[in-house]
Amino acid sequence: MFDALSIGATGMQAQQLSVETIANNLANMNTPAYKKGRVGFADLMVREAARAGSAEDMRAGVLGAPQRLGAGVTVSSIGKVFDPGEVKKTDSPLDLAIQGEGFLEVTMPDGGSGFVRGGTLEVNKDGLLATAAGYPLKPAVAVPDTAEALVIGRDGRVQARMPNQTNLVDLGQLDIVRFTGANMLTAMGDNLYRANDASGDPIALRPGEQGIGTLAQGWLESSNVKMVDEMVNLMLAQRAYEASVKVVQAADEMLGMVNNLRK
């Protein structure tokens, strides 16, 4: 009976985390390039409980084959779903979207690498092309103060239009990186991710090569959250939570019956 209480509690805890993840997804429906979270579940370690065999075995004091019983549910993973969101035209030359798979690499304040799904860019105080949060793109792209316009090609080539010059000036080349386990990247907030052992090391490619995405200047990627899907998932999580509550209540009532037994 005590097992039923603990098993029901694990179900309540797991579904509570699922509801919290869904709530965060819905809250970020309009956040550019936001990728929805997803919770993975797994059954907890099983234990073996002996069960009685035939009547003859019982008289002989022999038990039947052990029965394997589960011990509840646990959260196996909390990852991101990197399905592409809708790409919307903004006509702003500093808005950049990745059409397809991949990330742009940026340099973090500690010297490490972070990864973003495009977004609104800016030229920071050092004259480098950076994200709106101030993280310079990697490899670094220096933009001259006198540049009149910035052009970023689908292939990642960055060029500038300079005064009194008819030809564009090359400033650098942006690569797109991919991961073998992109859904396991560590989310840092503000459309920023960091690699870890589960995600694997970044693989840098030129935009458009080997099925990697391409760049779109003047476009922004929308969130990939779909309200209908999230509302359905919310109802399922709520029903599962209610079922676990009923299990706990039933186990508690049965324990109360045992405590009230009289000789």
CA proximity to 162, closest of 145, 176, 137:
145
pLDDT of 54 reads 52
pLDDT of 262 reads 67
SS3 165: coil
pLDDT-above-90 percentage for the chain = 72
- Rounded mean pLDDT of the chain? 89
Distance, CA of 191 to CA of 67 (rounded, Å): 48
Distance, CA of 142 to CA of 252 (rounded, Å): 67
Query: How far, CA to CA in Å, does 261 sit from each of 3, 51, 256?
Result: 20, 25, 9
Average pLDDT over residues 62-91: 81
Residue 55 has pLDDT above 60, yes or no: no
Lowest mean pLDDT segment, chosen from 36-45, 147-156, 221-230, 254-263? 254-263
Pair 188, 131: CB distance under 8 Å: no
Pair 245, 14: CB distance under 8 Å: no
Average pLDDT over residues 139-160: 94
pLDDT of 263 reads 54
Would you call the peptide bond into 84 cis, given omega within 30 degrees of 0 as the criterion?
A: no
pTM: 0.80
- Ramachandran category for residue 119: left, alpha or beta (phi over 0 → left; psi -120 to 50 → alpha): left
Torsion sign over Cα 251, 256, 262, 263: positive
**Predicted confidence band at 260 (pLDDT cuts at 50, 70, 90)?**
confident
pLDDT of 189 reads 87
Distance, CA of 172 to CA of 143 (rounded, Å): 9
pLDDT of 178 reads 94
Residue 66 has pLDDT above 60, yes or no: no
pLDDT, tens digit, 9 for 90 and up, residues 35-51: 999 999 988 876 555 55
SS3 196: coil
Amino acid at 159: Q
